[in-house]
Every structure is written in structure tokens, then in C-alpha cells.
């Protein structure tokens, strides 16, 4: 039983890590807490659904499309609304993204109705020994690991990635070095939205899609960032896996109900004991 | 600003919201209801609304009630008990409707009945299945559907008859599902089956992997799940992913909707479900009603539509026999009334609790729902045992 | 000014005599929102620490009050005070760890709080009835609760005014403007924030217990919904966070607008609220009252 649960935990951990990385980027670069992150993921799921249901496109191929679409949405949101509060007190950005998130969910309800959507693409699992490896989750894991890996490569080796990291460390110095900070903010928000969309697109094959599915992802992404350390991007990976494992193991030994409490208690404990995160990061 | 103006403004504000007592008039009989047209129960609440609408149409086509036309006044409670309470107060004290019909779901009904009891208004509550609502000494509330506790009765009965010994029960942690689960546990005990696992999960839960891992380890013959729609779908898919293979697997609400099969496709085969009503049941006028509903609303009715329709007819019949809309007179008739509609039989005990209506259990077989229990209403045999996921 | 306020209060006090059951309930709701929005303002408006889980205090008060009435037979006014006490305890338990850190972390931790409470309520079902909900013995106290809720609204508003015009309030606002500077000036930011959180939890706790009594039945989902937090935030923001009468204005105006609009367009209701939040944050961060304060040079302390 424990073995099965650990597998479940690792598989879900990769998804958590990828989505949380997006949130972490926005926080690191712009000091904005994007409460609308979950709804952006939800929009990614719907993109996959519609491409699959109406055009018959293989759901796995829709992942890059969803990423591209939400990249644009993210850039528009940043350019249109979020950029105005980047320098304002944190209260404003929190409230702004909160308002955006409510609006996005309701728009989805109006446009898509609250009816459950499902993408029945691939179900079942590969059985190895006594353990079941869920097919859709394995595929999601591979994709998520791939996207996260690519993201790290991008951050570490490309000029854009370095500019993002520089802005994340110190905006003023980055500006002095010639980085167009405004453009970086825009691209980061777009990139983060694309990561959320990838998560959503992969989830579309695993869970049922409905407008309110994103909310819990926002909270869990924060949890991952706190665990790994704010501004510490590889920390998102560790945090994601840890969260996945803790949740699954807790559900095994406690009941499903209490696993939510466990995640929360973990958050509070980490905030109390090591607020800069397990891998060390920046405390605000 | 004079010192009188704010006071006047406050009163005006209060009146604008609350309203003043309007004058009553003869004219149509206005039946008020608060329904879940938006929110979590939107889909099924809409079906119930359509049932009420069809009843209104049919009653008026036959000359109305007590010589007057019938007109429904419906508000949306957003699937929230607190809102429904306010809306029923509005319907009774402001709109001054002549009669009341019940809302969707047990929690909303439980909250609303406090209002109707307060004002002593009869409420036929066609979509409340929880026994406890009707066992609190209330006088003016009447049940139409079978109680939650018997939803899984068919599944357990069939399992016991085939010599299955072990049972796992899971349920959503809400009023209705808990009642259905406890009913299943009671049944199992009576039939001498052993319950090897039981757990409740929170509403809105999407991840059942740990739960199913535990069930798999307990290896039950039968899995009985007291669910709504979303969780039934998620549970089924994850059962396949984790390769959990009971000999029989049944769900409750949601398993009977066509969308269940649309969403799960072949993975829905062999699943048992319970329903309060099927259009193939041998009740007089059933098939014709089904066709009329489809024509009117362009989609198949669910049992919620039929229950709403029947509940409204039951009320109308009682009012007719009482020859009045007076609550106590109608109540007297509702307590005595025995009636069969397209929905099935109606008869209540002294608490207004339904005792005559029968639930049926069906199984998805080759894209169709085949009624398999009870024997006198069944149309086919169950495909037993359910084959393993890998063997399909 | 005082005469105007008194006559408004007198009119509201007399209203139950002429109003319908629905009307009384509705005005009572306005009182409740005034208390909720005003309380949220105490922590979020004054200190800048946004609380996204404030409904947790409401729900905790609702359950505490309901359990005492249903299982222990307490009279409801006493149970309502106990609801406030329960919310206070919760605020201490949450505040201690979470307020030591800076704003965003507090906001994040409050975001998940009400889900956790919902899970805990479901878990301890022997006490709370879990998913079955909790039914209170039938009692029609609609009018009495109207008055008590009205008193609660007045108390919260009065408390706001006392804080805003005091040194304590000034220090809270200093924390909002620049916490590092506040600390440098020697303000014990942690205890001040904690104090504000405690004061902001009492109102919702009492309101929750009163609502539980009024409804006669509560269940986890209906006392811990995100929608209540959203509404209190919108009302306080719209009216003017950080002011005393801003939440009062926001609550009254938005509730009436909601009843009228929502009755006809139920489907777009959350969208409108989201749009209002975005609009207020971008265009009038100080809310309507803030705008009026600037325009008409009204005192800072209303």
C-alpha cells in the first residue's frame, strides 16, 4: 500500500512543481502574488478540452497550444492590469489578482457552464508487480518533468533566463545593466501563465474539468513555494514532490478529509520554523 | 441636509429592499418555490424546475385548480440554504403566494422547512430524501421520493443473493450521502455481509487514489459508493487506474444521468446505479409523459423532473379534495392520500414520510440502463460478476 | 450630524413594526455585512495585512454558537457571545504563527484557513454533526436577532472609530505604510497586528452565531464559503478601506444593489464583484469614501 501511495505522490508532485514554478517566477520577479494562477490553469484545461472535443486534436499535442494561448493571456493581463500595481503596496496586487481570479472563474461559468467536461483519451494503468502506474498520470509526469527541466535550462543558460533571474534578484541593478524590466515583467507573467496552462492541459486527461477547479491549485502552489523557498526556483521542484508525497501518505494513514489539514499544518510549521523555505530563499 | 432626510432615506432604503405589504386579489393560484438554478445543484435544480413547469401547463390545460389558473413564482437560491430561507420568507410574507413547493436537495429543504413551519404553510418537498428532515415533529412537510437510506438497498440485496460476503462503503460527507451510506451499512448487517472498509470524503474531493489503495488492500466483493455526479466519475476512473476490481460496484445520484455514460464511455459499463424513476417503468402514462417532456424541453427528463412534476400533482390533488387552499385542510388530505402518478406511488405516514414509493436499481449494459431490481419492476438480468478492468 | 445619525437609527429601530418578514431579514443582513466588512477593515484596511480567510471566524462562531444552543441548551444571546470568544481563540491560534511574517505570507496562510476548518468540522462529526449539518431547536427570533445584529453593527463601527482616532490606530496605519520603519521607530509590530486581528475576529464570530440561530440549520459548506469573504472584501474596498464609515457605506449600497441586480441577473453576480474589486484597486484605491474625503476635505477619521 505504501509503495502505491508513494508512486501516486511522486506523480502528482511533478505537476505541483511545474505549476508552482510559474507562481514562484511571478513572485520572484515582480513581488506580485498571483491569486489568479489557479484560474489560468483552469483555462488551460478548457483549451485542451475544446481542441480535443471540437477538432479531435490529440490532447497531448494540445499542451504546447494551451501554453501558447495562455502565454498571450498572461501578457495581456500583465500589460493591461497587473503592471499598474507592481510598485504599489502588496495589498493592492493581492486584491487585484484576487478580483481577476473571481472574474475569470465567473466568465468561465458563463462561457462554458458548470457542467463537468472530460477528456476520455487514455485511461487505466500499467501494472508492474502489484503496483499500478496510472497511464494518464505517468504521461503527465513525463511532460511536467520535461517542461520543468526545459524551464530550468531556459533560466540558467539563455539570455532571457538570466535577465529574469537578474530582475528577480534586484530590479535596480538589472535596470542599470540594461535589462528592459518592463518587458521582463510581461514575459515572465506570460511564461508563468504558460506553465499553469501546461498543468491544466495535462490535468484535463486526469480529472474532470469545471470552472472552479483552479482555486485549490493556487493555494497548493503557494504551499510549494513556501516549502521550497520563495525566489528559489529549484526549490519548487523539491517543494512539489514533498507536497505530493505528504498528501498521499497522510491520506493513507489518516482519512482523505484530514489530508487537507495536514498540508495546511505543514505550511504553518514551515513558516514558523524555517520561513525562508527548506532550500533557503528570500523572506519578504 | 435636514435631520429628517436621513431618516426618510433609511426607511425608504428598508422599504425598497423589504417592501410593504401588498394587497391580495383573486386571480391565479400562485405557487412559490425557491430552486437551485445556479450554483452546485444547478443542473438538477433546473430539471426540477422543468417538472414544475410541465405540471403547471398540464393542470391549466385541464381547467386549473379549484377553478383558477395555476402560476409558479420561482426564485433562484444559488444552491445555498441561507438564500433559500430568505427567498421563502419573501414568497410567503411579501409575494404572499397561495401555496409553496419544495426546493432542491436535503440541506436546502432542511433549512427552508423552518420558515414554512413558522408560517404554517404546507410544503410538498419532492427532492428531499433525508429521513431526519421528516422525523422532527414537523407538521406541514411532505415527502415524495424514497428516502436516502434505500438507494443502495438493491445493490446490497443482489449481492447477498449471489453469496457475496464483503462490502466496502464510501460516501461524500454531506447529508444525503451519509444517509445513503448508513442505509447500506444497515442492509449489509441485516443480510450478514461483512463491512471491510468505510470512509467518508469531503465534498469536492477529486483525488481518490489513497482511498482506493486502502480499498484494494481490503479486497471487498462489493463497493457501494454514495456519491453525486462529479465524485462518481472521478472514483470510477481512478478505480480503473489503480486496478480495483470488485465483483459489483454501484453509485447513487449521478449514475443515472446520460452524461455519466457520455463522460466515462465504456468505463461506465457494468456499473450499478439507483434511481427514483425510469421512463420505462410500468406506471400509467409514463412513456407519454416522457415524450411530452422531451418535446417541451428538448432533452431527456431525469428523475428530478419526474419527482417535481409528481409532487406538484400530489399537492393539487390534495387541494382539490380539500376543496380549499387552507393549510390545515390540505394537510389533512395529504396525510390520507394514496395516489399513483407517472413517478410511482405516493403514500405518507403521520410524519409526512414517504412509505409507498419504490426505488429501482439498474445496471449500464451496452450503453443502456437496464432495470435489474426489484424483481417485479425489472427488465433484465444483471451482468454478474463485473469483469476485471484488464479483461474487458 | 449627530441628529441625522440618531434619526436614522430611530427609523431602523422602528422598522420591524412595519416591515415584512423578508424585509426584516434583509435589513438584518445589511447589519451583518456592516459588522463583517467593518471587522475585515480593522485588520486588512488598517494594517494592510489582507485576510482572505476571514469567513473562518464567521464559521467558527456559527459552529460554536450552534453547538452550545443545540447540545448544551444555552440561550442564544449567550451563545452568540461564546461564538465571538471562539473566533477570538482561533485568531490567537492562527495569528501567533502567521503574523510574525510579512504580509504576503499571512495572506497565503489565511487563504487556506477556511478549507481546513471545514475539514476539521467534518472530522469532529460527533460534536458538529459533520456533513449532516447541525439543526437547532425551532425558534422564531427573527426580530430579536434583528436588533442584536444592529447593535453588533453599531459596536463594530464604534470600535472602528475609536481605533482610527487613537494612537493604536495610528500605529497600525504606520505598519501599513512601512513596516520596517515602524519597527525602527520602536513599535512592537507583532503585538499590534495580533491585537488588530483579535479585534477583527470578534465581530464575525458573533455574527456567525447569530446567523446560525436565525437559520436554524448549518452545514460546513454553507458557513465557510469563499463568497462571504469575497463580499466583505468588496464592500469594504468599495466603501473605503481604512476609514470608519467606508464599510458601512459599502455594505449598504452593495447589498441593495445585489438584491436588485442579482434577482434579475444571477449568473453574472461574481463577475460583477470581481470587476468592482479590480476597478476599485486600480481607479479608486481609497474607495468611495476616500474619494469624498479628498473632494470635500472631510476629516480623515470618518
**Measured between alpha carbons, how far is B359 from C18 in angstroms, rounded to an integer?**
48
**Measured between alpha carbons, how far is B37 from B47 in angstroms, rounded to an integer?**
9
Q: By the CB < 8 Å criterion, does C270 face chain B? A: no
Contact B174 C266 (CB under 8 A): no
Residue at grid coordinates 481518490: B208
From A114, A252, A260, residue closest to B42, measured CB to CB: A114
From B211, B238, B243, residue closest to A251, measured CB to CB: B211
**Measured between alpha carbons, how far is B376 from B285 in angstroms, rounded to an integer?**
18
**Measured between alpha carbons, how far is A229 from A250 in angstroms, rounded to an integer?**
23
From B7, B76, B93, residue closest to C10, measured CB to CB: B7
- B12 confidence band (pLDDT: 50, 70, 90): low
**Measured between alpha carbons, how far is C37 from B369 in angstroms, rounded to an integer?**
51
Q: Which residues of C touch A101 (CB under 8 A)?
A: 274
Q: Chains with 3 or more CB pairs closer than 8 angstroms to A?
A: B, C
* pLDDT value, residue A263: 82
User: For C45-75, where are the alpha helices, taking DSSP H only?
Assistant: 46-47, 55-72
Residue at grid coordinates 449627530: C2
* pLDDT value, residue B40: 75
Q: By the CB < 8 Å criterion, does A1 face chain B? A: yes
Q: Tell me phi and psi for residue B78, to 5 degrees.
A: 55, 25
In degrees, to the nearest 5, what angle opens at C-alpha B229 toward C-alphas B273 and B31?
A: 95
Q: By the CB < 8 Å criterion, does B391 face chain A? A: no
Contact B107 C222 (CB under 8 A): yes
Asked if C192 and C168 count as a contact pair (C-beta separation under 8 A), the reply is: yes
* pLDDT value, residue A40: 96
Q: Which residues of B touch A213 (CB under 8 A)?
A: 206
| pLDDT single digits (tens) B53-104 | 999 999 999 999 999 999 999 988 888 888 899 899 999 998 999 999 999 9
Q: Which DSSP string corresponds to B257-318?
A: SHHHHHHHGGGGTT-EEEES--TTS--TTHHHHHHHHHHHHSS---HHHHHHHHHHHHHHHH
Kindly state the helix (H) or strand (E) to which residue B1 belongs, with its residue range.
none
Cell of C5: 445619525
| pLDDT single digits (tens) B230-263 | 889 889 999 998 889 999 999 998 788 888 888 8
Is the pLDDT reported for residue B6 higher than 60? no
Strand ranges (E), chain C:
134-135, 217-218
Cell of C159: 470600535
Calculate mean pLDDT across residues B159-185: 92
From the list C287, C238, C241, the residue with the least C-alpha distance to C258 is: C238
Cell of B149: 437510506
Q: By the CB < 8 Å criterion, does A270 face chain C? A: no
* pLDDT value, residue A281: 65
From B173, B229, B264, residue closest to A257, measured CB to CB: B173
**Measured between alpha carbons, how far is B351 from C165 in angstroms, rounded to an integer?**
59
From B38, B119, B173, residue closest to C266, measured CB to CB: B38
| pLDDT single digits (tens) B43-63 | 889 999 999 999 999 999 999
Nearby residues of B336 by Cβ (< 8 Å), 6 or more positions away: none
| pLDDT single digits (tens) C40-87 | 999 988 988 888 889 999 999 999 999 999 988 899 999 999 999 999
* pLDDT value, residue B9: 57
* pLDDT value, residue B100: 95
**Measured between alpha carbons, how far is A157 from C178 in angstroms, rounded to an integer?**
37
Q: By the CB < 8 Å criterion, does C133 face chain B? A: yes
Is the pLDDT reported for residue B305 higher than 90? yes
From B7, B17, B172, residue closest to C23, measured CB to CB: B17
Q: By the CB < 8 Å criterion, does A268 face chain C? A: yes
Is the pLDDT reported for residue B340 higher than 90? yes
Contact A92 C113 (CB under 8 A): no
Q: What is the pTM of this model?
A: 0.85
> What number of residues does chain C have?
302
Contact A5 B233 (CB under 8 A): no
Calculate mean pLDDT across residues B102-115: 92
Note down pLDDT in tens along chain C; length 302 residues.
778 888 888 888 888 888 888 888 889 999 999 999 999 999 988 988 888 889 999 999 999 999 999 988 899 999 999 999 999 999 999 888 888 777 777 887 787 787 888 888 888 888 888 878 888 887 888 889 999 999 999 999 999 999 999 999 999 999 888 888 998 998 898 999 999 999 999 999 999 999 999 888 888 877 888 888 888 998 999 999 889 999 999 999 999 888 877 666 767 777 888 888 899 888 888 889 888 888 888 877 77
* pLDDT value, residue B14: 54
Summary mean pLDDT of chain B: 89
Q: By the CB < 8 Å criterion, does C186 face chain B? A: no
Note down pLDDT in tens along chain A; length 284 residues.
888 889 989 998 999 999 999 999 998 888 888 989 999 999 999 999 999 989 988 988 999 999 999 999 999 999 999 888 887 777 788 889 989 998 999 899 889 887 788 887 888 888 888 888 888 889 999 999 999 999 999 999 999 999 998 988 888 899 898 889 889 999 999 999 999 999 999 998 888 888 888 888 988 898 898 888 877 788 888 899 999 999 888 888 888 878 778 888 888 788 778 777 777 666 44
**Measured between alpha carbons, how far is C188 from C246 in angstroms, rounded to an integer?**
27
Q: By the CB < 8 Å criterion, does B210 face chain A? A: yes
Q: What percent of chain B has pLDDT over 70?
A: 93
ipTM, 2 decimals?
0.82
Q: Please tell me the distance in Å from A120's CA to the nearest CA on chain C.
A: 29
Contact C268 A103 (CB under 8 A): no
Amino acid at each position: 500500500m505504501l509503495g502505491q501511495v508513494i508512486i501516486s505522490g511522486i506523480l502528482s508532485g511533478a505537476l505541483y512543481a511545474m505549476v508552482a514554478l510559474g507562481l514562484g517566477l511571478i513572485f520572484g520577479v515582480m513581488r506580485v502574488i498571483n491569486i489568479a494562477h489557479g484560474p489560468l490553469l483552469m483555462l488551460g484545461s478548457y483549451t485542451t478540452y475544446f481542441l480535443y472535443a471540437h477538432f479531435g486534436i490529440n490532447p497531448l499535442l494540445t499542451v504546447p497550444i494551451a501554453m501558447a494561448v495562455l502565454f498571450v493571456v498572461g501578457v495581456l493581463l500583465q500589460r493591461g492590469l497587473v503592471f499598474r500595481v507592481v510598485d504599489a503596496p502588496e495589498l493592492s496586487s493581492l486584491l487585484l489578482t484576487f478580483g481577476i481570479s473571481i472574474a475569470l472563474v465567473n466568465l468561465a461559468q458563463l462561457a462554458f457552464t458548470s457542467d463537468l467536461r472530460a477528456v476520455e483519451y487514455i485511461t487505466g494503468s500499467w501494472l508492474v508487480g502489484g503496483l499500478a502506474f496510472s497511464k494518464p498520470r505517468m504521461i503527465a509526469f513525463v511532460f511536467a518533468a520535461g517542461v520543468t527541466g526545459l524551464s530550468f535550462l531556459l533560466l540558467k543558460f539563455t539570455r532571457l533566463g538570466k535577465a529574469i533571474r537578474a530582475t528577480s534578484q534586484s530590479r535596480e541593478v538589472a535596470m542599470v545593466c540594461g535589462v528592459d524590466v518592463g518587458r521582463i515583467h510581461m514575459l515572465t507573467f506570460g511564461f508563468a501563465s504558460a506553465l499553469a496552462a501546461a498543468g491544466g492541459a495535462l490535468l484535463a486527461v486526469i480529472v474532470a474539468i469545471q470552472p472552479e477547479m483552479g482555486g485549490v491549485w493556487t493555494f497548493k502552489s503557494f504551499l510549494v513555494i513556501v516549502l521550497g523557498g520563495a525566489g528559489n526556483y529549484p526549490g519548487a521542484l523539491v517543494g512539489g514532490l514533498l507536497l505530493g508525497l505528504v498528501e498521499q501518505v497522510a491520506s493513507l494513514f489518516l482519512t482523505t478529509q484530514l489530508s487537507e489539514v495536514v498540508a495546511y499544518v505543514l505550511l504553518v510549521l514551515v513558516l514558523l520554523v524555517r520561513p525562508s523555505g527548506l532550500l533557503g530563499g528570500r523572506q519578504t | 441636509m435636514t435631520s429628517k432626510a436621513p431618516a426618510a432615506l433609511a426607511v425608504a432604503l428598508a422599504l425598497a429592499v423589504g417592501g410593504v405589504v401588498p394587497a391580495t386579489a383573486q386571480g391565479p393560484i400562485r405557487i412559490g418555490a425557491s430552486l437551485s438554478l445556479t450554483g452546485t445543484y444547478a443542473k438538477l435544480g433546473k430539471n426540477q424546475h422543468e417538472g414544475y413547469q410541465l405540471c403547471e401547463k398540464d393542470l391549466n390545460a385541464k381547467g386549473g385548480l379549484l377553478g383558477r389558473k395555476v402560476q409558479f413564482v420561482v426564485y433562484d437560491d444559488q444552491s445555498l440554504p441561507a438564500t433559500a430561507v430568505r427567498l421563502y420568507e419573501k414568497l410567503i410574507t411579501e409575494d404572499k403566494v397561495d401555496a409553496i413547493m419544495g426546493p432542491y436537495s436535503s440541506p436546502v429543504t432542511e433549512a427552508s422547512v423552518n420558515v414554512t413551519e413558522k408560517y404554517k404553510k404546507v410544503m410538498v418537498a419532492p427532492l428531499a430524501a433525508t429521513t431526519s428532515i421528516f422525523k422532527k415533529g414537523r407538521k406541514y412537510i411532505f415527502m415524495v421520493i424514497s428516502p436516502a437510506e434505500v438507494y443502495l438497498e438493491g445493490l446490497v440485496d443482489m449481492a447477498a443473493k449471489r453469496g457475496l460476503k464483503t462490502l466496502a462503503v464510501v460516501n461524500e460527507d454531506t447529508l444525503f450521502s451519509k444517509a445513503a451510506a448508513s442505509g447500506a451499512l444497515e442492509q449489509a448487517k441485516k443480510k450478514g455481509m461483512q463491512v471491510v472498509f468505510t470512509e467518508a470524503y469531503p465534498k469536492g474531493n477529486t483525488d481518490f487514489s489513497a482511498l482506493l489503495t486502502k480499498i484494494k488492500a481490503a479486497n471487498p466483493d462489493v463497493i457501494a459508493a454514495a456519491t453525486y455526479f462529479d465524485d462518481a466519475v472521478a472514483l470510477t476512473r481512478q478505480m480503473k487506474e489503480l486496478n480495483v476490481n470488485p465483483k459489483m460496484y454501484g453509485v447513487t445520484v449521478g449514475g443515472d444521468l446520460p452524461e455519466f455514460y457520455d463522460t466515462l464511455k465504456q468505463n461506465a459499463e457494468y456499473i450499478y446505479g439507483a434511481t427514483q424513476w425510469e421512463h420505462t417503468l410500468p406506471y400509467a402514462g409514463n412513456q407519454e409523459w416522457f415524450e411530452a417532456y422531451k418535446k417541451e424541453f428538448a432533452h431527456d427528463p431525469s428523475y428530478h423532473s419526474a419527482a417535481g412534476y409528481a409532487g406538484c400533482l400530489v399537492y393539487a390533488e390534495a387541494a382539490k379534495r380539500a376543496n380549499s387552499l387552507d393549510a390545515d385542510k390540505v394537510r389533512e388530505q395529504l396525510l390520507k392520500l394514496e395516489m399513483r402518478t407517472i413517478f410511482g406511488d405516493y403514500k405518507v405516514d403521520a410524519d409526512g414520510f414517504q412509505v409507498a414509493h419504490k426505488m429501482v436499481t439498474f445496471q449500464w449494459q451496452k450503453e443502456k440502463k437496464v432495470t435489474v431490481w426489484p424483481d417485479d419492476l425489472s427488465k433484465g438480468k444483471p451482468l454478474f460478476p463485473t469483469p476485471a478492468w484488464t479483461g474487458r | 450630524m449627530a441628529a441625522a445619525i440618531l434619526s436614522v437609527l430611530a427609523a431602523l429601530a422602528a422598522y420591524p413594526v412595519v416591515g415584512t418578514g423578508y424585509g426584516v431579514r434583509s435589513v438584518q443582513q445589511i447589519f451583518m455585512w456592516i459588522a463583517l466588512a467593518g471587522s475585515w477593515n480593522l485588520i486588512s484596511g488598517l494594517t494592510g495585512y489582507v485576510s482572505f480567510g476571514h469567513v473562518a471566524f464567521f464559521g467558527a462562531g456559527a459552529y460554536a454558537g450552534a453547538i452550545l444552543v443545540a447540545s448544551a441548551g444555552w440561550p442564544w444571546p449567550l451563545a452568540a457571545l461564546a461564538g465571538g470568544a471562539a473566533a477570538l481563540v482561533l485568531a490567537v491560534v492562527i495569528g501567533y504563527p502567521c503574523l510574525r511574517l510579512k504580509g504576503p505570507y499571512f495572506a497565503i496562510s489565511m487563504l487556506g484557513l477556511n478549507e481546513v476548518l471545514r475539514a476539521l468540522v467534518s472530522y469532529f462529526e460527533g460534536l458538529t454533526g459533520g456533513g449532516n449539518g447541525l439543526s437547532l431547536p425551532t425558534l422564531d427570533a427573527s426580530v430579536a436577532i434583528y436588533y442584536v445584529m444592529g447593535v453588533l453593527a453599531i459596536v463594530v463601527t464604534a470600535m472602528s472609530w475609536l481605533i482610527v482616532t487613537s494612537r493604536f490606530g495610528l500605529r497600525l496605519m504606520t505598519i501599513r505604510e512601512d513596516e520596517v520603519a515602524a519597527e525602527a521607530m520602536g513599535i512592537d509590530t507583532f503585538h499590534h497586528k495580533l491585537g488588530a486581528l483579535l479585534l477583527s475576529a470578534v465581530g464575525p464570530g458573533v455574527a456567525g452565531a447569530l446567523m446560525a440561530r436565525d437559520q436554524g440549520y448549518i452545514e460546513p459548506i454553507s458557513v465557510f464559503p469563499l463568497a462571504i469573504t469575497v463580499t466583505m472584501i468588496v464592500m469594504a474596498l468599495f466603501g473605503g478601506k481604512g476609514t470608519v464609515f467606508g464599510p458601512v457605506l459599502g455594505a449598504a449600497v452593495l447589498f441593495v444593489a445585489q438584491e436588485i441586480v442579482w434577482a434579475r441577473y444571477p449568473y453574472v453576480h461574481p463577475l460583477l464583484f470581481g470587476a468592482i474589486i479590480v476597478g476599485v484597486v486600480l481607479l479608486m484605491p481609497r474607495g468611495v469614501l476616500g474619494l469624498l474625503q479628498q473632494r470635500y476635505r472631510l476629516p480623515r477619521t470618518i
